[in-house]
Structure formats: structure tokens, C-alpha cells
Amino acid sequence: MSLDNFIKKHASNWMKEGKGEYSDIVISSRIRLARNIDNIPFPQLADQNQQKQVEKMVSETIDNKDHYRFLLMSSLSYEDRLTLVEKHLISPTLINESKYSGVWLNNEETVSIMINEEDHIRIQVVLPSLNLEEGLQVADEIDNLIESKLEYGFDEQKGYLTACPTNLGTGLRASVMVHLPALVLTKQINRVLTAVSQLGLAVRGIYGEGSESLGNILQISNQVTLGQSETEIIDNLRRVSKQIIDHELNSRKYLMEENKVALLDKVYRAYGILSNAYTITSKEALELLSYVKLGVDLELLDGINPHFFKELIVITRPGFLQKLYGQQLSSEVRDIKRAEVIREVLQKK
């Protein structure tokens, strides 16, 4: 199978080039709702029979099963589970969960319904660009359907009961994944992120809590789920995200007007290395891809497939590379194959 066909077959919808609001800076928007079935212990305390019961009960609520497929974690190889994390379809936590942990995925891979993760049910919607409201609407529709058939754990004061107290209330975690290379180059990123944290939002790496920032990509999400409505959470995140986007746009303008030679050097050095390297680590690849993406956004580079960035931040990861080549690869071989894939993608016109 050619690389083109492989990407088309395995790409989630959010990985395709977004045409929504601020699509050059906002990679994706994610909505996640945490829910638990009443009178069944949380997954960490439930025995296997109870976890199996949860999996069966949730599966029976899924309508239009032709539009969904169920993946049981215990039936997948580690590489396949890792690929699902790299595509942002499941959380890193779900990889090592119980025998009855799994995920329902829709055909477009915009909806993930995780079973027996930290909570019994985690409904996730991931869309390209800044699409928080649409994502919440989709998640709420699925949530209402499941709740019409199952009784959730709920308290009048605490809201939806969750395994982690920080998710009490709405159980909603909303986030935007943003690409902020100009803020990094102008050394404004720490100032901006400090201000973000003071507004009640969390800043995390590319794979969420506990992950590092790679490729100048960060996830901005709400920290408070109790005492605010879903709409208030979304509105606040959108407002702050727009402020961050404005700072990034202003930094890009400054670089173009005041430091264009240094910017061109950064962009073309990155492009030169990626176009010619025969071995490259994941971390270095993401950093260099970030600056090539900036060059494309600012029209300093042309003739590059506009989809390249979202594709490459996923397919150059360890699990996806091994799926592409159909075998386990040592880290040294992955570095060689990663460089090969990058060269091929960047050469596409």
C-alpha cells in the first residue's frame, strides 16, 4: 500500500486539513464527558464481573452500530493501542486498563466512547479547528442517548459523580490543541501561559496531562468542572483561546516585519534537514516540522501538501510507524523510517 493510500485509510477526520475558524493555528478541538453508572463501583474498585457488566450495558445503548465499531483493548496488540493514543482517539490511561476496557469509534473517528477507563464511560468528540460548540452538541446528543437507557451516578450538589474529584459537576473537559511557534521564537510563550493559568485553565503537552510539549504544540483546557455550566466552560475556553491566537498572530507579524531574515533561516534550515535527513528522532522531527508549518502558514514556503503537518505529527510517532511498516521496529530503525516518511510527504506536490 502506498503512503498516500495508507494515510487516507488510517487518518481520522480531525487529521485532515481543517477549514474552520483559525485552522492555521488550532489543530483540533476536543470535548470529553466523564460519566459513571449508578450503584457500580468505579473501574479501579470494580471486579471483572462488574467491569464486564459495564461494557455490556454501554454497548447495548449504542444505536446505529453500522456506524460504529468496538475495540476491546485486551484483543489489540500494544502497537495498535499505541496508535489509537497517537491519533488522540483514546487516552494513554486506557492502554493498560482491564480485560473489559475498550472503545466504541464512529467511522469518521471523531467520536470515541471509552469504556472502563478512569470512569465507566468517557464520551469524547474531536473535531478539526476551533469547533468547541459543535463538539459539545455531538457529545451531548450521545450523552443524552446513553442516559435515557442507563442511570448515571449523580448528586444534586456535586453533579455527575466521577472517580477523580476534579471532574465532579459537569464532568466536562474541553480543550483546544494549538500550534504556537511564533510565541516560542519571540520568547513570549511563558508570559502568555502564566496568564492562562491565572484564568483557571490548564496547559498540557500534546498528549494531555503528564505529557511534554513537542513541536510547539500545547493543549489548553478547563480546570474547573464544578460550579460552572457546560456553556460557561466552553465560552471561557473559546475566549481565552482567541486571546492566545491573537498573541500568536501578533508574534508572527512581528517576526515577518522585524526579524524576517532570521525567520527565513529558521524555516529553510528546518525544511532542508527534513528534506534530506536519513535518520531523525521523534522529538527533533516535531520541532522541525513546526517551523516548516510556520513557513507554509506565512507563505514563505510553497509547493508543500497543506495537509502535511497534521499527518506527520501522527504518522511519525512510534506506534503509527510500526503499523505503517507492519512490524515491530527498534528505535534506531524507527528513526530511519521516520526520516523516509517525512521526505516522501514533503516531496508531494
Do residues 128 and 23 lie in contact, with contact meaning Cβ atoms separated by under 8 Å?
yes
Question: Is residue 176 marked as binding?
Answer: yes
Task: Tell me if 32 is assigned to a ligand binding site.
Answer: yes
Tell whether residue 200 is among the known ligand binding residues: no
Q: Is 209 annotated as a binding residue?
A: yes
Sheet hosting strand 26-35, strand order edge to edge: 68-72, 102-106, 111-115, 121-128, 26-35, 172-179, 217-222, 201-204
Q: Is 122 annotated as a binding residue?
A: yes
Say if residue 247 carries a ligand binding annotation.
no
Q: Is 31 annotated as a binding residue?
A: yes
Sign of CA dihedral 197, 202, 205, 211: positive
| Residue 206 in marked binding region | yes
The dihedral built from the CA positions of residue 235, 240, 243 and 248, taken in this order, carries a sign that is negative
Cell of 18: 481543517
175 in a labelled binding site: yes
159 is known to lie in a ligand binding site: no
3-state secondary structure of 325: helix
Segments in the chain forming alpha helices (H): 3-10, 48-59, 78-86, 132-147, 181-185, 189-198, 230-258, 260-276, 282-297, 308-315, 318-325, 331-347
For residues 217 and 177, the answer to whether their CB atoms sit within 8 Å is yes
* 290 Cβ contact partners less than 8 Å away, ≥ 6 residues apart: 179, 181, 215, 216, 217, 270
Check whether 129 is labelled as a binding-site residue: no
Query: Which residues are CB-neighbours of 183 under 8 A, at least 6 positions away?
Result: 189, 192, 216, 247, 248, 251
Q: Is 40 annotated as a binding residue?
A: no
Q: Is residue 29 marked as binding?
A: yes
Q: Where are the alpha helices (DSSP H) in 187-330?
A: 189-198, 230-258, 260-276, 282-297, 308-315, 318-325
| Burial environment of residue 347 by CB neighbours within 10 A (0 to 12, 13 to 18, 19 or more) | exposed
Q: Is 118 annotated as a binding residue?
A: no
Helix (H, G, I), strand (E, B) or coil at 85: helix
Does the annotation flag 205 for ligand binding? yes
What residues are designated binding site for ATP? 28-32, 88, 122, 173-177, 204-209
- Binding site per annotation, positions: 28-32, 88, 122, 173-177, 204-209
